[in-house]
Amino acid sequence: MMMSKVMVKKMVPELRFGELKGGWEEKFFSQIYSFRSTNSLSRDNLNYDSGTIKNIHYGDIHKKFPTVFDITKEDVPFINADINIDKIPEENYCKEKDLVIADASEDYADIGKSIELFNLNGEKILAGLHTFVARPDQSDIAKGFGGYIMQSWFLRKQIMTIAQGTKVLGLSTKRLAKVVIILPQLNEQQKIATFLTKIDTRIQQLTKKKSLLKQYKKGVMQQIFSQDIRFKNEEEFPKWQNKKLGQLTYKTGKKNKENIKYPVYSINNKEGFLPQGDQFDGMDSNDRGYDISLYKIIKEKTFAYNPARINVGSIGFSGALNDVIVSSLYVCFKTTEELNDDYLLQYLDTHAFNKAVLRNSEGGVRSYLFYDNFSMIKIPLPSVDEQEKIVSFLKKIDERIKRIGEKVTKMENLKKGLLQQMFV
């Protein structure tokens, strides 16, 4: 059944290129795009080594592909040779300007996330599991614009409204067809797409630079902790020792028996110590009226970790934080004078330490590393002076990574602001 034409309203965005005039017009999604069938191939049916047909997986749309997709810059898997694709009609193969839209997500932020196929370089490519392919009427959409308008808040709000599901959100073509898109003239579309593509390119360059620097640091750390690289002072530093963490740390964490409402913190594998309210809807255990008398009081320069999540890096260092509390589940400890806190922090991020965690953990479905087992882990220990040299060197790399990360965040915030102002 044909959909009735949307009532045309002319509107203008907050921010425009100076010479451009005229209003933007409303259209239904189905008046601009038609849908093509996709396959349901899982990761098991794909490989990165060889093949003739490539396949876009919805997970890559969520995690790594940029808005404007150029196949010459992206690592896209092939369909395995034993998968029969002979019956797939030619019209279902992707074309440039197609939108590939993820139709499933666990949260509203990613439902309907999409990429526009800007350059396919003559390669044959299909879209797979949990995706739609939306093909535009070539006369309505400028190349590069479709991907960005899908990120506009006006469109995102509608997509989040029509998404259905409890644990996993889903999107249907029937509902997406009724979404309203507001379009400028083609020349304005092209200017917007070109401008935002330059910002995306800069974000990608910085992100790649950050990734390469992190890889470099990982390689250097491996050489340092295996002693392939040594630091020197006026004289040679002493030979390294291997010591158990139980010889270099001691348990701490006095109970909050007086039930004082100290700030409540949690530990995660990204920020380390983090106010509990930042993780749980702005509320912490104090706000929820929980008994906090068994919580542990954290003083400055204290390490804390979750015994069930240390295998994924949930360990933190309080640094200058003082008089905060964490759940009684956390293991808390301090270091002796033999072990530099920052040296330990760096070593905790090594493959060797992660392997030691797995070896010493115990349990069935869920593994735990309590302090008794943690204290049995051996670490390579140079002199305190060499520890300081190592820490100083690695911190300089960390500072460079941090500065690049801040630039990425700045550019992402700029793009977010422009998407709000450049679209109706």
In CATH, what number is assigned to the domain containing residue 117? Answer: 3.90.220.20
Do 155 and 245 share a domain, yes or no?
no
User: Which tens digits make up the pLDDT trace of 381-412?
Assistant: 999 999 999 999 999 999 999 999 999 999 99
CA distance 224 to 245: 19
pLDDT for the residue 5 = 45
| Inside any domain, residue 335 | yes
CA distance 178 to 28: 6
Q: Is the CB of residue 22 less than 8 Å from the CB of residue 92? A: no
pLDDT for the residue 287 = 62
Do 179 and 256 share a domain, yes or no?
no
| Inside any domain, residue 215 | no
Q: Is 188 exposed, middle or buried (0-12, 13-18, 19+ CB in 10 A)?
A: buried
Do 171 and 271 share a domain, yes or no?
no
> Who contacts 83 (Cβ-Cβ below 8 Å, separation ≥6)?
41, 45
User: Which tens digits make up the pLDDT trace of 154-171?
Assistant: 999 999 999 888 888 999
Confidence category of residue 10, pLDDT binned at 50, 70, 90:
low
Residue 33 has pLDDT above 80, yes or no: yes
CA distance 310 to 292: 23
- Lookup: tokens for 110: 């990613």
| Inside any domain, residue 213 | no
Q: Is 196 exposed, middle or buried (0-12, 13-18, 19+ CB in 10 A)?
A: buried
DSSP helix/strand/coil, 243: strand
pTM above 0.85, yes or no: no
- Window from 128-142, 323-337, 381-395 with minimum mean pLDDT: 128-142
Confidence category of residue 250, pLDDT binned at 50, 70, 90:
very high
Do 117 and 180 share a domain, yes or no?
yes
Closest CA to 247 of 182, 350, 333: 333
- Lookup: tokens for 22: 């005229």
Q: Which of 3-7, 15-19, 387-391 has the highest mean pLDDT?
A: 387-391
The sign of the torsion formed by the CA atoms of 394, 397, 403, 409 equals negative
CA distance 251 to 102: 47
Mean pLDDT confidence for 1-10: 44
Q: Is the CB of residue 287 less than 8 Å from the CB of residue 310? A: no
pLDDT for the residue 6 = 46
Do 20 and 163 share a domain, yes or no?
yes
Do 269 and 163 share a domain, yes or no?
no
pLDDT for the residue 285 = 66
Q: Can you give the residue range of the structural domain that contains 288?
A: 241-381
User: Which tens digits make up the pLDDT trace of 229-249?
Assistant: 888 876 788 999 999 999 999
| Inside any domain, residue 386 | no
- Lookup: tokens for 340: 């530099």
> Who contacts 167 (Cβ-Cβ below 8 Å, separation ≥6)?
106
Mean pLDDT confidence for 362-368: 83
Closest CA to 140 of 153, 149, 131: 149
| Inside any domain, residue 44 | yes
pLDDT for the residue 288 = 63
